[in-house]
Structure 1
């Protein structure tokens, strides 16, 4: 009885959001925002209270054939509910005077409700149905301005890619059912927890298909173009997409970590595709001027890095990355309107180009901090397997941060910078250790070649950043910049194939008078 009460409490989060979506469609425009904000607020409170109860010793229920409650589920339910609350409050002011507000609110509520069902699912078919629901609801939100041809083309590409991802996921689930004879996720994963298992061909293929689903969902190159072009959709939709929905690929790999950690082929598939996507998307981002487009390329790069962390077996780091990226990217899109003021502040900022001695000093200081962090991490966990690539990335990031301190708006003293850098390193080490508790049953096989591969890519990433920032006067760098500005022409290739497979008639740009008349018709 107590188990069912606990499950009922967790199910209240998606149920409240779904009921609010129905209520919004049945009520007048004057109260829909009150219903929506109240529902998202209650959902966030429910998710937070349940997580706090679990933290202080409340017994979580054993998984059923449909629902499972895990630490990963609890963390991400709080995150999704928080993003839903913030986005809904922002949308009220953003959409003021817009037609079809009730439809927008209902779709947004349904999207977040379905995401919560994905998080709670312990049945592979239930997860797939909820996954498809999220995709279809988001597609309608992306088409909120159907008269915009770029938005329509992006939504069309996403629709096709999403069906490809869902087909991969369905086939993976069928293969796992064929091997294990059950649709329950916890029973499937139990076969891989606690010890190394030699996977059959069907299991290896299922892991590759799950990885393929995650790569497509996270908009990795070359299936990234839709993510860049959907910035023409309303800003709250971009915040919900980049701050929540697109992270589902990372959640999928974390949920099936026990299987994925023992699938060598699937890991290298992710390491190659996501690793290259991380580097090239970050370089391409630096060539962009539009704030939203830069943020979209940043999302593709960040998602690639998160998937790489999963492939390296650093699931706790991937979880921290997911939470931090969701909060940051939602904030970045919702505050994009202040970009002009931020740009003016950067223009007024005094600074100078760091000299060689600045980089040497910064590298030495960053090396000391990273060395201390490694010693601390080893002290916390005596069985820690040291990997080069994540610490190299931190070292390069801290080096850049310290060397470029004089180019900031308010240059900090070296003591302040060191204190900030030390705080970041210590926080990272502690939070990583705490997040590791969510994956205590996962057997991770560390691969030396994978670590070397990512170390080389991170070195290329850092080298490319330096060339883009300080060597643009070189002819060779300028030539490379042209290709990067074109996105290596990957999206053009993907668009041609998409339109060849499934042609579509794009809407024509409306003139001002046409938009005005259509607006009046929608209001009447």
Structure 2
């Protein structure tokens, strides 16, 4: 039974790879309708398989299976040699998300690429990339994971070069290709170290062996650090993020696939290998620092961008930074929830970016919300009062949602820190609403904040139920918590100050001069190009 389930789960991806392997580019472009029909049909099949597997896994957990862990199976007639597929709560949820987004992108591309002379080749590489991501998610063997990891980069590279006549697109593709090779090397060395240390490349056996250790060896700690490095680079963390904002020349569905699926590969790597990474707690502190710096930096830069797609690119970098911060705090369930939610949102944002531009053109400057118009007329004296009120409301909403649904943040890894960040975000939003002096809007916003907290906590419970048996419970030393908490506190306080400064362009603002610097990404890309030269020519 398990052998059949695991085989069927990988079948659509294998068929997509086979289609990309046997059909030459010239034949694909000569028969685009046939190619796009086959790719879309296989993407639909993969979504159906992923949906059935997710329902089966949910029923398995709800009805108390005696073996709530991953599905295991061996090759028929091959003794005890297991299949290189690892299907548990983590991989099932990610497989469903990847399959759904892939299906949506294929459907969207039918009209977006209609009439394009290279649409047959586009659909071949889209199917290839979707299959590679699916195999990476389902992989239960280090070698298969690494091969699928490489194939995602190859597929994305060809999609970025869909219109190679655009110099900006070619520069972005080769910049990304060069930077991601660092992540590939780091992951390859980590896999070799893990295999030499434990004598196996199967993830299930690795997790069991790591769990039985009383202390981590130097090789294991080095492998954990390399996994952190590979995940951070793959997810466009500072300062390896410069390639992502450059990919504005690529087709919109490719941007959606990249931001909603492939960039998440670094986060999935860390959640998937969380038993290994958490064996060296100091690597989690490094990861939390990288994530906090990236989230704060990218959020400030995002606020100053005038291009919709570039703003979304920096939004992705900031979201990936916050997801890395969650992993660094040991909150792997929250990190996976963040990956799922961000993927759905970002796919919708990119695929609907054309509507946003059209709405802005129609609405113009007269569409400023009433609350913002009032706040611009001299509401500064009331900022302290509205800020305290907003903080109180957001704290009460989160506390009520947690208590009602039976979650104690103090018992969850990073729960108090992440709860404080969530309260800060909601309070910052409510402060702008309360400053508008519109009581009806304030009440509606408070009710919405409460509903948002309930939705977040409820979603967290569902995801945690899926992955609780697959991720470790992290216990960090008190001093490490103090250091990480101080870094996060300073980072988000600085971000709040910078946000207030950069969003006020007038010369009367003390921080107004930072607007120009932030709009240029604080010149990180320029510095890297000056030091290392153009990556596109390397």
Q: TM-score under structure 1 normalisation?
A: 0.89
2:76 — aligned with what?
A: none
Q: Among 472, 495, 515, which residue is 1:442 paired with?
A: 472
Aligned-pair CA distance for 1:32? 2.4
Equivalent pair of 2:72/2:83 in contact (CA under 8 Å): no
Whole-angstrom distance in 1 between the partners of 2:240 and 2:405:
37
2:141 — aligned with what?
A: 123
Whole-angstrom distance in 1 between the partners of 2:2 and 2:193:
31
Whole-angstrom distance in 1 between the partners of 2:38 and 2:170:
30
**Which range moves more in the overlay, 252-261 or 480-489?**
480-489
Equivalent pair of 1:315/1:439 in contact (CA under 8 Å): no
Equivalent pair of 1:262/1:445 in contact (CA under 8 Å): no
Aligned-pair CA distance for 1:364? 2.0
Aligned-pair CA distance for 1:172? 0.4
Q: Confirm or deny that 1:398 pairs with 2:415.
A: no
Deviation string, structure 1 residues 52-107 (Cα, Å, up to 9, x no partner): 12222397631635111111111011111111111111111111221111111000
Whole-angstrom distance in 1 between the partners of 2:473 and 2:268:
18
Equivalent pair of 2:402/2:408 in contact (CA under 8 Å): no
Aligned-pair CA distance for 1:22? 5.1
Q: Among 243, 247, 272, which residue is 1:226 paired with?
A: 243
Q: Confirm or deny that 1:272 pairs with 2:289.
A: yes
- CA gap of 1:388–1:382, structure 2 versus 1, over 3 A, is closer
Q: TM-score under structure 2 normalisation?
A: 0.87
- CA gap of 1:162–1:379, structure 2 versus 1, over 3 A, is closer
2:175 — aligned with what?
A: 157
Summarize the alignment of residues 323-334 of structure 1 with structure 2, pairs less than 5 Å apart. 323-334=340-351
- CA gap of 1:366–1:201, structure 2 versus 1, over 3 A, is same
Q: Confirm or deny that 1:44 pairs with 2:47.
A: yes
Deviation string, structure 1 residues 384-408 (Cα, Å, up to 9, x no partner): 4674321121111111222223799
Alignment RMSD, CA only? 2.5
Equivalent pair of 2:234/2:265 in contact (CA under 8 Å): yes
Aligned-pair CA distance for 1:443? 2.9
1:309 — aligned with what?
A: 326
2:524 — aligned with what?
A: 490
Equivalent pair of 1:389/1:458 in contact (CA under 8 Å): no
Aligned-pair CA distance for 1:322? 0.3
Equivalent pair of 1:359/1:403 in contact (CA under 8 Å): yes
Q: Secondary structure at the match of 2:537?
A: coil
Deviation string, structure 1 residues 128-176 (Cα, Å, up to 9, x no partner): 1111011011101111111222221111111111111100000001111
Whole-angstrom distance in 2 between the partners of 1:470 and 1:494:
29
Unaligned runs of at least 5 residues, structure 1: 505-524
2:84 — aligned with what?
A: 66
- CA gap of 1:342–1:396, structure 2 versus 1, over 3 A, is farther
- CA gap of 1:459–1:388, structure 2 versus 1, over 3 A, is farther
Aligned-pair CA distance for 1:40? 1.2
Whole-angstrom distance in 2 between the partners of 1:319 and 1:459:
25
2:162 — aligned with what?
A: 144
Equivalent pair of 1:216/1:223 in contact (CA under 8 Å): yes
Q: Among 285, 289, 292, which residue is 2:302 paired with?
A: 285
Deviation string, structure 1 residues 167-206 (Cα, Å, up to 9, x no partner): 000000111111101111111111233x774211111110
- CA gap of 1:297–1:385, structure 2 versus 1, over 3 A, is closer
1:32 — aligned with what?
A: 35
Q: Confirm or deny that 1:207 pairs with 2:241.
A: no
Q: Confirm or deny that 1:3 pairs with 2:2.
A: yes
- CA gap of 1:483–1:382, structure 2 versus 1, over 3 A, is closer
1:507 — aligned with what?
A: none
1:417 — aligned with what?
A: 445
Equivalent pair of 2:336/2:463 in contact (CA under 8 Å): yes
Q: Secondary structure at the match of 1:66?
A: coil
Whole-angstrom distance in 2 between the partners of 1:163 and 1:10:
29
Deviation string, structure 1 residues 31-61 (Cα, Å, up to 9, x no partner): 2222222221111111101211222239763
Equivalent pair of 1:22/1:106 in contact (CA under 8 Å): no
Whole-angstrom distance in 2 between the partners of 1:45 and 1:20:
19
1:350 — aligned with what?
A: 370
2:57 — aligned with what?
A: 54
Unaligned runs of at least 5 residues, structure 2: 74-81
Q: Among 53, 61, 79, which residue is 2:97 paired with?
A: 79
2:184 — aligned with what?
A: 166
Deviation string, structure 1 residues 342-363 (Cα, Å, up to 9, x no partner): 3244732323215423333222
Aligned-pair CA distance for 1:479? 1.9
- CA gap of 1:230–1:381, structure 2 versus 1, over 3 A, is closer
Whole-angstrom distance in 1 between the partners of 2:185 and 2:214:
27
Whole-angstrom distance in 2 between the partners of 1:51 and 1:463:
43
Whole-angstrom distance in 2 between the partners of 1:151 and 1:500:
14
Aligned-pair CA distance for 1:371? 3.0
Aligned-pair CA distance for 1:502? 7.2
**Which range moves more in the overlay, 289-298 or 90-99?**
90-99
1:360 — aligned with what?
A: 388
- CA gap of 1:465–1:179, structure 2 versus 1, over 3 A, is same
Q: Confirm or deny that 1:14 pairs with 2:31.
A: no
Equivalent pair of 1:214/1:249 in contact (CA under 8 Å): yes
Summarize the alignment of residues 190-205 of structure 1 with structure 2, pairs less than 5 Å apart. 190-193=208-211, 197-205=214-222
Whole-angstrom distance in 2 between the partners of 1:141 and 1:414:
45
Whole-angstrom distance in 2 between the partners of 1:122 and 1:44:
20
